[in-house]
Amino acid sequence: MRKNSRWIAIQCGRQHPSCERVIKGKFPLDMPGPLQYGLGVQAFIINLLACQMVALKRAQALVYSIIDVVIAEATMLQFILRLHAALENWEVRATEKLLLEAVMHVDETSLRVDKTNYWIHVHSAGGITLKKLHRKRGIKAMEGNDIIPRYTGKLIHDCWASYFSYSNCGHGLCGSHLLRELTFVVETNRYRWARRMKRLLQATYKRVSDCEKKCLDDREYARLLKCYRKILELGTLEMPAIPDKPAGKRGRIAKSDAHNLLERLQKYEASVLLFARDPLVPFTNNRGERDLRMSKVKQKVSGCFRSEIYAHAYCRITSYLQTMAYKGVNPMIAIQMALAGELGGE
């Protein structure tokens, strides 16, 4: 990192004690000049910024306390962009692998970039996590990311309407979201249908988890479907009528949360109960939410991003590191492998 003895020997040469000939070496390809930061230092800084969510100034101070060298913020950001470029081919290969998975978890969350609201879209399946940044949240973003439009497996999500725009794939709804909404309706309105639906979903999930096949047989599923529809019929009778729209008023009628939930359970019956029919489909979308959670922590701890390129770099780098973490690879090792071009067919 400084002008050490190795650099002096290469630059100034050594005099052979016998023939008095001066012998000079050549710099290795990874050391083009007298002051260099090795892959270990670069990986450590990238790990601080991307994984540990340390702000730039704090990372700079921490590195200085360790190696007694002040590394400029611009240099640290160059390390981020270098890894971002090194992972371009990895991202392409990860996308193709995602499209072959039978089940994929998707979710989205907001992210501030240069005082503007952007959205991170996560796609998780098997041991792969892939996050994409886009200015929009809905169909425009999904078309721009070009993953969901090409996917033909089962998509697990939280019933965001834009996902249902794609008929090329199946759809499964997150049971955790439904249970939370049912709990809210029970606590605020005391509707019996919501309490019964909550118990039915919980009991079905336990039954599916305990059975060896991880799904219900045809007879059990028919019984479940009968109970499910009966509860929804009870809900239709129990819920108050939706008021008519006043004359001369435009727009949609404002429905209660309970009305919206009941209609959603009726409309997406097959998606709600897909976990009971397909052993590969989980009950929740926790995988997608878990892969996104640290993005919100990043924003709270070290603030928003100054420019869009670094936000894109953050998404790609954390996607790679989360994927490698599922394989049990140390993040420092994973970063050095990528910087050294040793990913190969990974």
Query: Left (φ > 0), alpha (ψ -120 to 50) or beta: where does 114 sit?
Result: left
What distance in Å separates the CA atoms of residue 294 and residue 313, rounded to the nearest whole number? 15
Quick one: pLDDT band at residue 255, thresholds 50, 70, 90?
Answer: confident
With a pLDDT cut of 90, the percent of the chain lying above it is: 74
The whole-chain average pLDDT of the chain stands at: 88
Print the SS3 string covering 102-150.
CEEEEEEEEEEECCEEEEEEEEEECCEEEEEEECCCCHHHHHHHCCHHH
323/27: higher pLDDT: 323
Residue-level pLDDT at 249: 58
Quick one: pLDDT band at residue 256, thresholds 50, 70, 90?
Answer: confident
Retrieve residue 338's tokens: 């990528």
Q: Tens digits of per-residue pLDDT, 114-162?
A: 889 999 999 999 999 999 999 999 999 999 999 999 999 999 999 999 9
Retrieve residue 209's tokens: 């988890």
Residue-level pLDDT at 24: 67
Q: Parallel, antiparallel, or unpaired: how do β-strands 14-15 and 22-23 relate? A: antiparallel
Expressed in percent and rounded to 5, the helix, strand and coil fractions of the chain are 55, 10, 30
Q: Are 283 and 175 in contact (CB under 8 A)?
A: yes
Q: Which whole-number Å values give the CA distances from 188 to 181, 184, 256, in the listed order?
A: 11, 6, 11
